Amino acid sequence: MAQFFSIHPDNPQLRLIRQAAAIVRSGGVIAYPTDSCYALGGQLGDKSVMTRIRAIRQVDENHHFTLMCRDVAEISRYAQFDNSEYRLLKACTPGCYTFIFQATREVPRRLQHPKRNTIGVRIPDHPVVQLLLTELNEPLLSSTLIVPGDELPLNDAEEIRARLEHQIELVLDGGACGLEMSTVIDLTGDTPALIRQGKGSLAPFGIMHG
C-alpha cells in the first residue's frame, strides 16, 4: 500500500521530504508534483525502479527516461554539452523543459536510449522537487505519470493513490499541478529540434511551431 503525504507546494515540510528521500533510497517508486504535471520517480542507481516504472507506464526500452536535476552543474555530470548549449540551459532553467543530450559515462547504459546513447535531463521549477533533490543529493530517475489508456497525466493525488496504490510506495500530494507536459528539446544536433510541444515556450530556441 502506498503511503500518502500531504505536502505544502510552496513551503514543503522538511520532515516529509526527508521521509520521501528515505523511501527513494530504499528502492521505492514515488509519485510527485512538478512544475508541469505529476511524475513517477525513483533512485537513479536502482535497476528495479526503471523496470517498475516501465511496467506501470507500459513503455518499451526506447522510452526516454528523464533525470530530474537540481541545477546545470548537476546536469553536466550526466550530459555532454558545449558553451552555447550551456548558455541555453542557464537561460531556460529551472522551467518546463526536458532536454535530450548525449549521455556521459556517469549515466548507466540501461538508462540511455538504446540506439542513440542519449538521456533526457530537466531542472523543474517546483519547491517540492527542488527540496527533495537537495535531500537526495543526486538526480531522480523520472517519467511522466500517464497510465496506459489515459491521454493525459494524472493530476489528482487521491486518484493517483486509488489507481497506483499497489504499484508504488508513496504519493506526495502537492495539490493539482497541471496536465501539460514539459516541452522536449533535442540538443544533440547542430540546431535545437522540437520533440514534444508542451508547457515551455519555444521562443528561446528559434523553433517555429509545428
pLDDT > 70? residue 3: yes
pLDDT > 70? residue 210: no
Let me know if residue 136 belongs to a domain: yes
Q: Quick: pLDDT tens for 192-206.
A: 999 999 999 999 998
pTM confidence score: 0.95
- pLDDT of the residue at 209: 61
Grid coordinates 535545437 are at which residue? 192
Per DSSP, the residues of 58-126 read: T--TTSPPEEE-SSHHHHHHHEE--HHHHHHHHHH-SSSEEEEEEE-TTS-GGGS-TTT-EEEEE----
Q: Quick: pLDDT tens for 27-74.
A: 999 999 999 999 999 999 999 999 999 999 999 888 889 999 999 999
Range of the domain at 55: 3-205
- Select from 163, 137, 162, 139 the least CA-distant residue to 149: 163
Alpha-carbon span 154 to 152, nearest angstrom: 7
What total of structural domains would you count in the chain? 1
Question: Count of CB atoms within 10 A of residue 1's CB?
Answer: 8
Q: Quick: pLDDT tens for 73-131.
A: 999 999 999 999 999 999 999 999 999 999 999 999 999 988 899 999 999 999 999 99
Let me know if residue 210 belongs to a domain: no
Q: Quick one: average pLDDT of 166-187? A: 94
Let me know if residue 108 belongs to a domain: yes
CATH number at residue 145: 3.90.870.10
